[in-house]
Amino acid sequence: MNLVLRFLLEVCAIVAVSYWGFVVGKGMVFKILLGIGTPLLIMIIWGLFGSPAAQIPLTGGYRLLLEIAIFGCAILALLAVSKSTLAFIFGALVIVNKILMYVWNQ
C-alpha cells in the first residue's frame, strides 16, 4: 500500500508542477512551455536517475537529494499558486511515506 501511495505522490508532483506552469505563465506559449515542459523535464530526470528502472540509478544520499528536489519543487509550485493547505498535506504525506519506506525497507 505504501508503494501505491508513493506512485500517487509522484503523479501528484507532476500535476502540481504542471498546474503551476499553466497558472503563472504569461501568454499562451509561455503557459504551454511551463505547463508541459517543466513536468516533462522532471519526468525525464526521474526516469533517468530515480525510477526503479533508471538507466543511471542513484542510491543513498544522492537519491534522497533527488527526491527532495522533485517533491520540493512540487511543494513550492503549490505554494506559488496559493495552495498552501495542499502543499502542507502533500509535504506531510511525502515525509510519512519516506519514513515508512525506510522502516519497511522498500
The pLDDT tens digits for 24-36 are 989 999 999 999 9
Helix (H, G, I), strand (E, B) or coil at 35: helix
Over range 62-75, report the average pLDDT.
98
Over range 37-63, report the average pLDDT.
96
What's the pLDDT score for residue 32? 95
Cβ count near 40 (within 10 Å): 13
Residue 18, domain member (yes or no): yes
Residue 12, domain member (yes or no): yes
Please identify which residue in the block is written with the cell numbers 498535506.
89
Cell numbers at residue 95, please?
Answer: 515525509
CB–CB of 98/2 below 8 Å? no
Residue 19, domain member (yes or no): yes
Residue 73, domain member (yes or no): yes
Tell me how many domains the chain contains.
Answer: 1
What's the pLDDT score for residue 59? 93
Residue 25, domain member (yes or no): yes
Residue 90, domain member (yes or no): yes
Residue 106, domain member (yes or no): no
What's the pLDDT score for residue 60? 93
Q: Look up the pTM and report it.
A: 0.93
CA distance 86 to 10: 15
- The fraction of the chain above a pLDDT of 70, given in percent, is 100
By residue range, what is the domain housing residue 72? 2-101
Residue 75, domain member (yes or no): yes
